[in-house]
Amino acid sequence: MIPVVLTIAGSDSSCGAGIQADLKTFSALGCHGLTALTCVVAETPGKVRSIQAMRPEIVRDQLEVLLTAYPVAAIKTGMLFSTPIIRAVAEVLAGLKTLPPLVIDPVMVASSGDALLKPKAVASYRKHLFPLAALITPNLDELGVLTGDRPDSLAGMIRSGKQLAAQTGVPLLLKGGHLKGKTATDILMTQAWDLSEYSAPFVRGVETHGTGCTYSAAIAAGLAKGYPLAKAVGEAKKFVTRALKGGHRWGNVATLDQVQLTRR
């Protein structure tokens, strides 16, 4: 039976990130994707023009309908945007008899630099959603918001990660793609304080919009297949690296290629 994965995230009109990237990733990795839409973002990889949030009641309805009808094997969250939406998501998930593995990508800032989360919503993540997670996947900017100290080195990333892990008690995937160097190095930090390193050569000169969405979606797909967390992260790292290498460009806009493997 094909695994079912649910993404709770925003719509990216350029289809490079958000639920569109998630669905392409799920499909490429042999999973059936479901979506609970949180907001609609009018954007291209370089610019966010506007954001329209869904009413929390609509988000709740989507979740309740899907989680009642489908055997969801894993869940990921992406752009949640506001406190009311975060609380609605957390209330539904906390009410489940059995919660599937939940991967939280705490989306806060677009690759263009535009804000994708209201400032007061950070506290809602901490209080309502993080306690439910199987994994949280902050990049350096998100780690800085969550800890008050944006790291600029691998050692700093690990130090800030330990601070966040102590606060949440949840495994973290610390994404070092914004660090300077020849490799993109990520650190999986478990509740036992074990550290696992995942590195790949930087893929330069390509569009990175949607990388975080693709990464977390691929991890959720791996967990839905029953992979242990470390294997799910390792396979996802390989997948997102291939998606970067296979990206496409049309003049000033570009995208990752999450579906390249399905065309072979």
Residues marked as catalytic? 175, 208, 210-213
Burial of 97 (0-12, 13-18, 19+ CB in 10 A): exposed
* Residue 104 to residue 175: CA distance in whole angstroms: 13
Q: Strand runs (DSSP E) across 13-95, as ranges?
A: 32-44, 47-53, 72-77
The tokens for 17 are: 């990130």
Burial of 264 (0-12, 13-18, 19+ CB in 10 A): exposed
Position 3: which residue type?
P
* Residue 242 to residue 260: CA distance in whole angstroms: 8
Closest CA to 37 of 53, 24, 51: 53
Q: Which residues pair with 227 in a beta bridge?
A: none
Position 207: which residue type?
E
Count the Cβ atoms, other than its own, within 10 Å of residue 210. 29
Closest CA to 240 of 224, 222, 263: 222
The tokens for 2 are: 């094909």
* Residue 185 to residue 182: CA distance in whole angstroms: 9
